[in-house]
């Protein structure tokens, strides 16, 4: 039995749509793309509890990349999506639907159905984005650090979170401001 692959991303655990966006991030050496790495698709599917329900092949990876690109365009302005954003999201959503049914316990249940198995994870991610829009599009945020490309859903009580991580990007911004203040010439 092989050991589980470690998720190297700096901000895992966001809602599945934003977690898909966060498969690209910046390192000290430049950009990194989890889905371009050999085990990246497996890592992402496992992180989102989709590994046993979705294929892990080239077709699934390509479909997930299409969904990630559609989401990347859409998050630029969640309150007023562009035609490109709408077309991209709707193209992914066209591959599936939610089927309502009665579960074995007699209670209402839902099941995701897609035309091809490769579109299951992408469809789930884009559907999740719709749920975030319904909850509060203003809380879908890009990190405020100018070199960070990560996104998060602001669940803070006051809705004023600015950083993907206060420990990383927030501290970098504070350090940068402090450095700029200490470099300014002082009046004599």
Domains of the chain: 16-183 (1.10.3300.10)
Q: What is the pLDDT of residue 50?
A: 96
Dump pLDDT digits (tens) for 164-183: 987 768 666 555 554 456 66
Q: What is the mean pLDDT of the chain?
A: 90
43-47 average pLDDT score: 96
Model's pTM, two decimal places? 0.86
End-to-end CA distance of the chain: 69
Residues 21/72, Cβ–Cβ less than 8 Å: yes
- Contacts of 47 by beta carbon, 8 Å cutoff, 6+ apart: 7, 12, 13, 19
Q: Are strands 140-142 and 151-153 parallel, antiparallel or unpaired?
A: antiparallel
């Amino acid at each position: 039995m092989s050991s589980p692959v470690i998720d190297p991303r700096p901000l895992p655990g966001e809602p599945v749509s934003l977690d898909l966006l966060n498969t690209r991030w910046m390192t000290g050496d430049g950009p990194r793309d989890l889905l371009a790495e050999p085990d990246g698709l497996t890592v992402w599917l496992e992180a989102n509890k989709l590994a046993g329900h979705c294929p892990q092949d080239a077709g699934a990876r390509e479909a997930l990349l299409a969904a990630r690109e559609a989401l990347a365009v859409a998050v630029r302005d969640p309150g007023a999506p562009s035609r490109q954003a709408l077309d991209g999201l709707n193209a992914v959503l066209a591959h599936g639907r939610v089927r309502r049914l009665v579960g074995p316990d007699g209670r209402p249940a839902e099941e995701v159905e897609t035309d091809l198995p490769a579109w299951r994870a992408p469809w789930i991610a884009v559907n999740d984005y719709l749920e975030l829009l319904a909850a509060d599009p203003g809380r879908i945020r890009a990190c405020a650090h100018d070199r960070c490309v990560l996104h998060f859903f602001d669940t803070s009580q006051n809705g004023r979170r600015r950083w993907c991580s206060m420990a990383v990007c927030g501290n970098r911004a504070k350090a940068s401001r402090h450095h700029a203040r200490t470099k300014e010439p002082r009046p004599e």
